[in-house]
Amino acid sequence: MWPLPTLGPARTDRSPDPGEHVLNPRLVAAWLAIDLALIVAFAATGRSTHESGLAIAGILSTAGPFLASCLLTWGVTRAWRSPAALWPTGILVWLGTALGGLALRALLGGGMAVSFQLVAIGVLGLLLLLPRAAAAVFMRRPAASG
């Protein structure tokens, strides 16, 4: 067998790449969990607003394409490197989740009204970007001395 091509030189050490953030795995997991929970909240709110019921299976069927797209986007963009960053992580996670979720929803035969598409893109933008914007503001604040 031939060796598989790599995207860069083989690394033999476990040190991070220059410029790569070294994060606590729990913090990375927390950011991913927040993204996924907000997507589920988006689906539950939409179902509630349209009186579609709040059964777990229904919520997950609505959220499923967006959850899958979010996970795929996290993997493709390696969002775990800087999960709290508004740019590029937040923007890429938002666009990948919203556009990928809409594409999957269309492939699965889900409703694709233009109004739904606009609401999905806008609301997911707010939900996935606001926590990162808040984190950016919080991280820039000087520590209180006391």
Contact 74, 93 (CB under 8 A): yes
Query: What pTM was computed for the model?
Result: 0.81
Average pLDDT over residues 83-87: 96
How many alpha carbons fall within 13 Å on the CB side of residue 96?
20
Helix, coil or strand: residue 46: helix
> pLDDT digit string (tens) for 35-47?
999 999 999 999 9
Quick count: other Cβ atoms within 10 Å of Cβ 18? Answer: 5
- Examine the pLDDT at 141 and tell me if it is beyond 90: no
How many alpha carbons fall within 13 Å on the CB side of residue 20?
12
Taking the CA atoms of residue 127, residue 133, residue 139 and residue 140 in that order, the dihedral angle to the nearest 10 degrees is -170
- Examine the pLDDT at 85 and tell me if it is beyond 60: yes
> pLDDT digit string (tens) for 4-35?
444 444 445 555 544 455 679 999 999 999 99
The residues, ordered by sequence, that sit 6+ positions from 129 with a Cβ below 8 Å of its Cβ are: 86, 90, 91, 94
The residues, ordered by sequence, that sit 6+ positions from 20 with a Cβ below 8 Å of its Cβ are: 81
